[in-house]
């Protein structure tokens, strides 16, 4: 399930994708307006099941994460950090399984 929310600090809009167990899989960048954020959700729905759209990365602290990119190469969202490469790869698979879910607007 997607959740759209607004940062109290910056007043910008974000979305997060959660697995069925409630764990966050993917977090978006900040958007100036809700419409841009909603477009970001649609981009995840369009690209989230395509493994070629994911870039696997390793952080400076040795943990693993991924970014999801749109067809134009722009980053749509980033994962949390995982202890193992297999955890990261399972996160990518989870995006594919959950990217067609409903969207809950927490700003309404």
The CA-based diameter of the chain, rounded to the nearest angstrom, is: 39
Percent of the chain with pLDDT over 70: 100
CA distance 54 to 78: 10
Fold classified for 2-101: PH-domain like (2.30.29)
Where on the phi/psi map is residue 60: left (φ > 0), alpha (ψ -120 to 50), or beta? alpha
Average pLDDT over residues 87-91: 96
CB 79 within 8 A of CB 85: no
Query: Residue 108: is its pLDDT beyond 80?
Result: no
Per-residue pLDDT, averaged over 85-89, amounts to 97
Q: How confident is the model at residue 53 (pLDDT cuts 50, 70, 90)?
A: very high
Does the reported pTM lie above 0.75?
yes
> Domain-by-domain residue ranges, the chain?
2-101
The mean of the pLDDT values for the chain is 95
Question: With bands split at pLDDT 50, 70 and 90, how would you rate the model's confidence at 16?
Answer: very high
């Amino acid at each position: 399930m997607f959740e759209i929310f607004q940062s109290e600090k910056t007043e910008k809009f974000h979305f997060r994708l959660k697995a069925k167990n409630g764990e966050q899989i993917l977090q978006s960048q900040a958007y100036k307006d809700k419409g841009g954020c909603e477009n970001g959700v649609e981009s995840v729905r369009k690209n989230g099941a395509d493994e070629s759209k994911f870039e696997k990365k390793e952080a400076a602290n040795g943990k693993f994460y991924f970014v999801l990119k749109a067809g134009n190469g722009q980053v749509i969202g980033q994962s949390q950090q995982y202890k193992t490469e297999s955890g990261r790869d399972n996160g990518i698979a989870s995006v594919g399984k959950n990217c067609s879910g409903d969207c809950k607007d927490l700003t309404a």
